[in-house]
Amino acid sequence: MANYYDEDDLYDEEGEESLGPEEQQQMDDTIAEVKKILRGTSVTASQVRDAVWDAYFDVDMAVKTLRDILKKEEAKKRAASSKVSPEELAYAFRNCKSRRRSGHIVGVSQHSQRIRATITPFAIDSCGISAFDGIPWRLPAYLKSEMIKCSTSQPKMGLLGGSSKLAALAKARAAKRQQEQQQTNLPPPEPMEDVRSSTPLDSPQRSPSPSPFQALQTQTPTPSRLSRLLADHGSARNILSNQSPSRPTSPTKDKPSLLSRNSNISANSSSPSSIISASHLSTPKPQIDLSSPSTMFFEDVPSGFAESLNSNLSDTQLSADEVWKLIANHPLFYLPVTTKQAEEISKNFNKPSPDDVVKEAQQTKGGTAKTGKNIDKDMRSLSIQEQVPTVVTVKQPKVDVAEQYAATKRKPHINFVVVGHVDAGKSTLMGRLMYDMGAIDERTINKYKRDSDKMGKGSFAFAWVMDQSEEERERGVTMDIATSYFESPKVSFTILDAPGHKDFVPNMIAGASEADFAVLVVDSSPNAFEAGFLHSGQTKEHALLVRSLGVQRIIVAVNKLDNMAWAEYRFTEIKDQLQVFLNSIGFTGSQTSFIPCSGLYGDNIVNKSAEEELLSWYKGPTLLEELENLRLVQRDIKAPLRMSITDVFRGTNSSLVNIAARINSGNVQTGETTIVVPSMESTLVKTIMISNNLRDWAVAGDNVELILANIDMMHLRAGDVMCSLSAPIKRARIFTARVIIFQLRIPLIKGSNAIVYRGRTTEAFKITKLISVLDKSTGKILKSKPRHLASGQSAIIELEVIGKGCFPLETFKENKDLGRVVLRQDGNTVAAGVVEDVISVVTDL
């Protein structure tokens, strides 16, 4: 069987498949076409027949298959003709890879006065497999003439996908290259002895042809340019040094040069450089001592690029710019692609690029090029159809939620907020509570201990249960409300852990407005209680705020009593001071309780303390027992739905929106359509979850997570109120409020601005009227139209929204949650109170 393609061969092969006459005809036609395309190649008839059959008469596919086969065969042949062993190649390849960045020079130096084929593995790195296939391991003489110059050190791959302009450019360059190649008389390859001779290869004598570098002026390269050169072309020594250390003229024992390093290589062995130039030698198969570090030849052998520069840079100092220009513009390097391969590549540019096709079509459509007018007309004729989202429906019969609620035996649910001065130990206390209740497992706590220890904050391990953000953990300060859920055998609880720092009071307000009860944590350590209670500490402000926001019951955790050796006097001292203050803001004796405890050590949190000192004077309940004893707040679950949104986020389904919310009044069920205020957008409640459990309905007092359909996320914000479709909440612009004035630096006057907070809703208001000053205990009017309001006074004021906004609001009588407001100025709380009347509302949709 013939090895190479021969016209006759194509038909010599026995057809193994029996084909019908039609198929046979198709087969013959396809073979003829393939044969025509591959004329002159070494493909055999059987290969053609198989390829055509495998490609099921697809000419292009068959040709592609055959070309691939040809490429592989050619590569095999070349590899077989190589005198370098596979081990050596593997070794060289490893070293090439480690020494060189991808995209490095592949090719032959024209100015080195010898053809020096760089080792092929570079080609894998820089040119990809096709270039690799076409390159011999050693450079046979016949291939010298087939080398194609490449103008830059890094092959520019852009041409591969280029346009016809690029094709033209490539053609012009090819012509230029050919011309240059003709002018250049490449000398025959030099024998091995020259490589090892003591005369450096790059010595001026070796470069008889006048170098373009010699004309250049003496300048020192800038470091940035130099580093760029280095990055792209390897060793600085190889590039710019006059005396390359890799090619010393007189090798010494102490400092082995390339020659001395290679001197341990026998005459029969080949230095790595011999691999590089092996193609020009008729020396025996090179042997490399792979175990010897001296074979790290790439340390010393300059690249073809470096070598060429070296030969021409002797006694010449170039500016970095000049060197760079030379590198970029001078055709120093060859891309090792054979002429045949180049022909193949050039075919890619013989037809217009896809860009050109489109451009031409655009220009010739209707016989005229598109003018601005035409485009304008076309644009107008385009109709933009708004994408209507698919409307989601939930087929579920409506239920009487109040009835179902009455019939279910659900555990009572309590929301409580944890407040207090910064560092009082709030998060640690809650972390301990969760841990002792089994809501946090041992492994997690141990991990927190390890991680917080590493950060030098080992004492914060329990606080990390609540403080989940990286910033909070790093700073050891709670910044936003952290919500956690746990259950005791009797009650289920939602904890709202508020930040203690005064910078985060707005977040504390948001948490407090979702709570029925409060746990006020005070630090009993020496001076710590005083720091939080007196002056500008947060103990008083927090207590006042929770009271103003409707919290009816407060538990005071006298914390860190371990620091006071469980001294009773300290507990009593703190209790007495606080009780007076709490009474003054509306928490009577029955609405307050005090628990001596240590959050860090877990005394009196879930389990009774075992401290004898404490047991000797305290027999009262633990914090958990006190929480379980709280009398539930009765809520109107039949009232119109009011649900304060606390968070809005996208779930897994991008067409749905998830919200976290607290139901202030009424109830909600799946499949119900509700309305969001102030956007007034309706939405369908697709899913309801309470504490990660799916529910069909939820009632006032529940903290829920809902999945909403048929609404865009942009119509929902934290602080908005979701309402019954038939009875949405008012969107107030002007309202009156009965407020208590906080500690002020300057009195409040008519015309002052304030930010009004209601849960997570905030809006800028102006105090438009000071209506009256009231008696704090009786509520009687003491003075009408006061000129100003001072600290501690109770008053009725009128506020109006600044700008065009509005505020979802109800009077306190209508809804205790949504009728409470807090006023702040310049980061300080100035007043808090309840909404008396909504004077003006926005009515349009």
Ligand X SMILES: Nc1nc2c(ncn2[C@@H]2O[C@H](COP(=O)(O)OP(=O)(O)OP(=O)(O)O)[C@@H](O)[C@H]2O)c(=O)[nH]1
Q: Which is nearer to ligand X, 281 or 505 (CB)?
A: 505
Contact between 611 and ligand X (CB under 6 A)? no
- Choose the binding region for ligand X from 173-181, 298-306, 455-463, 764-772 (rule: CB under 6 A): 455-463
DSSP 354: H
Consecutive H or E run containing 675: strand 673-677
Rounded to a whole number of angstroms, the minimum distance from the CB of residue 517 to ligand X is 18
Contact between 604 and ligand X (CB under 6 A)? no
Contact between 499 and ligand X (CB under 6 A)? yes
- Choose the binding region for ligand X from 420-428, 611-619, 779-787, 827-835 (rule: CB under 6 A): 420-428
Q: Which is nearer to ligand X, 498 or 684 (CB)?
A: 498
Q: Which is nearer to ligand X, 623 or 637 (CB)?
A: 623
3-state secondary structure (DSSP) of residue 1: coil
Contact between 482 and ligand X (CB under 6 A)? no
Q: Exactly one of 477, 657, 688, 830 binds ligand X (CB under 6 A); which one?
A: 477
Residue pointed to by tokens 């009262």? 620
Q: With contact defined as beta carbons under 8 Å apart, do 232 and 255 qualify? A: no
d(CA 823, CA 290): 81
C-alpha 29 chain-centroid distance: 56
- Choose the binding region for ligand X from 171-179, 182-190, 457-465, 804-812 (rule: CB under 6 A): 457-465
Contact between 710 and ligand X (CB under 6 A)? no
| Count of residues making up the chain | 845
Count the Cβ atoms, other than its own, within 10 Å of residue 668: 23
CB under 8 A, 24+ apart: contacts of 594-597? 594/555, 594/556, 594/558, 595/555, 595/556, 595/557, 595/558, 595/620, 595/621, 595/622, 595/623, 595/626, 596/524, 596/558, 596/561, 596/566, 596/571, 597/429, 597/557, 597/558, 597/559, 597/561, 597/622, 597/623
Q: With contact defined as beta carbons under 8 Å apart, do 141 and 117 qualify? A: no
Count the Cβ atoms, other than its own, within 10 Å of residue 720: 23
- Choose the binding region for ligand X from 11-19, 493-501, 723-731, 813-821 (rule: CB under 6 A): 493-501
Rounded to a whole number of angstroms, the minimum distance from the CB of residue 498 to ligand X is 8
- Choose the binding region for ligand X from 261-269, 319-327, 423-431, 568-576 (rule: CB under 6 A): 423-431
Q: Which is nearer to ligand X, 460 or 517 (CB)?
A: 460
Q: Which is nearer to ligand X, 497 or 720 (CB)?
A: 497
- Choose the binding region for ligand X from 258-266, 348-356, 596-604, 655-663 (rule: CB under 6 A): 596-604
First to last CA, the chain: 88
Which tokens is 261 given?
Answer: 């390093």
Strands (E), 117-165: 148-150
Rounded to a whole number of angstroms, the minimum distance from the CB of residue 598 to ligand X is 4
Q: Which is nearer to ligand X, 303 or 507 (CB)?
A: 507
b/e code 624-649 from CB counts within 10 Å (16+ = b): bebbbebeebebbbebbbbbbbbebe
Q: Which is nearer to ligand X, 432 or 816 (CB)?
A: 432
d(CA 110, CA 148): 11
One-letter amino acid for residue 353 of the chain: S
- Choose the binding region for ligand X from 13-21, 175-183, 417-425, 746-754 (rule: CB under 6 A): 417-425
Q: Exactly one of 100, 138, 149, 426 binds ligand X (CB under 6 A); which one?
A: 426
Contact between 488 and ligand X (CB under 6 A)? no
Contacts of ligand X in 140-159 (CB under 6 A): none
Contact between 605 and ligand X (CB under 6 A)? no
Q: Exactly one of 135, 463, 482, 690 binds ligand X (CB under 6 A); which one?
A: 463
- Choose the binding region for ligand X from 102-110, 207-215, 426-434, 542-550 (rule: CB under 6 A): 426-434
Count the Cβ atoms, other than its own, within 10 Å of residue 674: 20
Strands (E), 477-611: 482-487, 492-497, 517-523, 553-559, 592-596
- Choose the binding region for ligand X from 109-117, 207-215, 399-407, 558-566 (rule: CB under 6 A): 558-566
- Choose the binding region for ligand X from 58-66, 246-254, 343-351, 496-504 (rule: CB under 6 A): 496-504
Contact between 478 and ligand X (CB under 6 A)? yes
Strands (E), 459-542: 482-487, 492-497, 517-523
Rounded to a whole number of angstroms, the minimum distance from the CB of residue 559 to ligand X is 5
C-alpha 51 chain-centroid distance: 48
d(CA 61, CA 69): 12
Contact between 542 and ligand X (CB under 6 A)? no
CB under 8 A, 24+ apart: contacts of 179-186? 180/149, 180/331, 181/149, 184/110, 186/110, 186/115, 186/144
Strands (E), 745-804: 748-749, 753-758, 761-774, 781-784, 788-789, 794-801
Binding mask 563-582 for ligand X (x = CB under 6 A): x-------------------
Q: Which is nearer to ligand X, 514 or 672 (CB)?
A: 514
Contact between 459 and ligand X (CB under 6 A)? yes
3-state secondary structure (DSSP) of residue 839: strand
Q: Which is nearer to ligand X, 526 or 803 (CB)?
A: 526
Torsion 399-403-406-412 (CA) sign: positive
Q: Which is nearer to ligand X, 335 or 512 (CB)?
A: 512
Q: Exactly one of 560, 570, 738, 816 binds ligand X (CB under 6 A); which one?
A: 560
Q: With contact defined as beta carbons under 8 Å apart, do 10 and 32 qualify? A: no
Site for ligand X (CB under 6 A): how many residues?
24
Q: How many CA atoms lie within 13 A of 164 on its CB side?
A: 11
Contact between 452 and ligand X (CB under 6 A)? no
Q: Which is nearer to ligand X, 423 or 836 (CB)?
A: 423
Angle (CA) 496 501 507, round 5°:
45
One-letter amino acid for residue 18 of the chain: S
- Choose the binding region for ligand X from 88-96, 178-186, 544-552, 557-565 (rule: CB under 6 A): 557-565
Rounded to a whole number of angstroms, the minimum distance from the CB of residue 817 to ligand X is 24
Contact between 767 and ligand X (CB under 6 A)? no
Binding mask 219-248 for ligand X (x = CB under 6 A): ------------------------------
3-state secondary structure (DSSP) of residue 733: strand
Q: Exactly one of 63, 143, 216, 424 binds ligand X (CB under 6 A); which one?
A: 424
Rounded to a whole number of angstroms, the minimum distance from the CB of residue 527 to ligand X is 14
Q: Which is nearer to ligand X, 509 or 716 (CB)?
A: 509
Contact between 427 and ligand X (CB under 6 A)? yes
Contact between 274 and ligand X (CB under 6 A)? no
Rounded to a whole number of angstroms, the minimum distance from the CB of residue 823 to ligand X is 23
Rounded to a whole number of angstroms, the minimum distance from the CB of residue 516 to ligand X is 21
- Choose the binding region for ligand X from 24-32, 421-429, 639-647, 809-817 (rule: CB under 6 A): 421-429
- Choose the binding region for ligand X from 181-189, 544-552, 593-601, 778-786 (rule: CB under 6 A): 593-601
Rounded to a whole number of angstroms, the minimum distance from the CB of residue 826 to ligand X is 22
Angle (CA) 595 597 602, round 5°:
135
Residue pointed to by tokens 């309470």? 690
Residue nearest to ligand X (CB): 500
Contacts of ligand X in 721-740 (CB under 6 A): none
Angle (CA) 706 708 711, round 5°:
150
Q: Which residues sit at the interface with ligand X, rule CB under 6 A?
A: 420, 422-428, 459-460, 463, 476-478, 499-501, 559-560, 562-563, 598-600
